[in-house]
Amino acid sequence: MSLPVDQRRLLGAFLRARREALAPAAIGQPPGAQGRRRTPGLRREEVAQLSGLSTTWYTWVEQGRDIALSAAALARLADGLRLNPAERAYLFELTRRRDPSAPAAVPDSAAAPPDLLDTLGALSVPAYLLDRLWRARGWNDAAGRLFAPWFDGGEPCLLRFVFLHAAARRFIVDWEERARRLLAEFRADTGHNPDDPAMVDLVRELRRSSPDFAMFWNDHAVLAREGGLRSFDHPEDGRLRYEQVTFVPATQPDHKLVVLLPR
């Protein structure tokens, strides 16, 4: 997949900046080991050697030429340049490649992040936390009351509740529109780690158990998770309207903090 000219130039400028910022001492070279340097940081051939890549290939990438960029080569380059996690993620986002060394999915048994649970407790409006499988890992008292039809049923997975529980169709106003939107947002999430076994199993289960899920899934709609007006028919409080806002925590990008503001 070829990158646009502007993106190749941006990639080249980024690599050059990281190369010039990497001091020879950081790779174990004593001062003056390679003679007097006219430019800061490492030479192109040194980066290529550290990365196990050809000098010509690296030079052409830095110059913004239109050449093949494999994920494996980019991973070696990230290691050679000693990129930190944020820089490495930026490199792969910039080149539209998937990092082969991306961390594995968090085990299903892992505890919810305590700082995010504390955040829920500090909010007076309804708020809940979703993990990568869209399971509720925590919620505050206000959310517990609002989403009683969901949480009281003992099913933490939002998708299972929406598609497999009759209570969801009574609770969520404009159920079909919201369900289609929800599934398109979830499909966007699956693109981050399409080989996640738990995610694959969840989709397979829901396609088998819910004709509506199977039909909507086959539409292949993909949408970013956005906020907006949400309406619910609460069994005790009647029709309720909220503005939904979703946050992705910087330190836990596989989680979503969902907040609902009364309207």
CA Rg, the chain, in Å? 24
pLDDT of res. 65: 95
Architecture of domain 114-262 in CATH?
A: 2-Layer Sandwich (3.30)
Residue 259 in this model has a pLDDT that exceeds 80: yes
**In the chain, where the domains are located:** 5-95, 114-262
Backbone angles phi, psi at 197, to 5 degrees: -55, -40
Backbone angles phi, psi at 9, to 5 degrees: -65, -40
Q: pLDDT class for 261, splitting at 50, 70, 90?
A: very high
Q: How far apart are CA 229 and CA 36, in angstroms?
A: 64
Nearest residue to 250 via CA among 134, 23, 86: 86
Residue-wise pLDDT tens digits, 146-187? 999 999 988 899 999 999 999 999 999 999 999 999 999 999
Between 119 and 227, the more confident residue is: 119
Question: CA-CA distances (angstroms) from residue 184 to 109, 202, 223, 224, 245?
Answer: 26, 15, 5, 8, 17
Nearest residue to 159 via CA among 141, 174, 181: 181
Name the pTM for this structure.
Answer: 0.70
Nearest residue to 55 via CA among 38, 66, 42: 42
Class of domain 5-95: mainly alpha
Residue-wise pLDDT tens digits, 113-128? 889 999 999 999 999 9
Q: How far apart are CA 236 and CA 107, in angstroms?
A: 37
**Beta carbons of 134 and 197 less than 8 angstroms apart:** no
Q: How far apart are CA 86 and CA 190, in angstroms?
A: 21
198 Cβ contact partners less than 8 Å away, ≥ 6 residues apart: 105, 108, 133
Q: pLDDT class for 25, splitting at 50, 70, 90?
A: confident
Residue 34 in this model has a pLDDT that exceeds 60: no
